[in-house]
Amino acid sequence: MPVPSKPQDMNLRVETLPGLREQVAERLRMAIVTGHFKPGERLIERELCDVMGVSRTSLREALRELQADGLITLKPNKGMSVSVLTQETARSIYEVRQMLEGLAARLFARNASAEQMKALRESVEELAVVYENFSAENFIDVKGRFYDILLDGAGNEVAADMLRRIHTRASQLRVVSLSSSERAQKSIRELRAFCDALEARDEDLAWELCLDHVQNAAKAALKSIPEGGPRDE
């Protein structure tokens, strides 16, 4: 499994002012889900302001957004730190993800255009290329496009918003599990079969394959969490 670079080696600096809070939040979100900031690691405001070149006000606004997403935790007298996922919490996340993605699969099979079907298939083949030379940043980018297409084609904005929040929390575990070549190969086979069912407009099969895919992803991801849960120092 590739070892992520240290936080000080990652370019977090924000260059432009429009949408500053969103830029800061996105840079920090990527740093967390790709492992540059580890679960339980403290986030020191002064250090982050220096590295990113932003004011403490802008940083705090972004941190509040990530706290709402569940990626960081505020503890009395300890400040902010990267959230730690226990096995129980991770299972709950994947249970919700399974049902929401299953719904999206049914709706996509029913509502998606031919162009959206084609675009989804192409995004899966992009993922196959990423898995051949895995990097967390590329994976997050391409998998994000896959889900954007799936959710747009499904046509349910409420489910899409809920699922994107779930994906944000699951991303920490997803990156770890998919850096395994064995899981990556199985994942691509599952997604190709999933596309076959969608293109056939088979809602029931798409639902079943989607649930199986998320269940297998959960099993792989949970292996990255020690029994009894990690310690949040």
Q: Would you list the domain boundaries of the chain?
A: 7-82, 87-222
Which of 13-27, 95-109, 115-129 shows the lowest mean pLDDT across its residues? 13-27
Cβ atoms 214, 97 nearer than 8 A: yes
Q: Please name the residues in contact with 91: beta carbons below 8 A apart, sequence gap of 6 or more.
A: 218, 222
Label residue 230 by pLDDT band (50, 70, 90).
very low
Distance CA 206, CA 219 (A): 20
The answer to whether 7-82 and 87-222 have equal CATH topology is no
pLDDT tens profile 162-175 = 999 898 888 777 76
Task: Evaluate if pTM is beyond 0.85.
Answer: no
CATH topology of domain 87-222: Four Helix Bundle (Hemerythrin (Met), subunit A) (1.20.120)
Q: Could you tell me which CATH number the domain at 7-82 has?
A: 1.10.10.10
**pLDDT at residue 152 is higher than 60:** yes
Q: What percent of the chain has pLDDT over 70?
A: 86
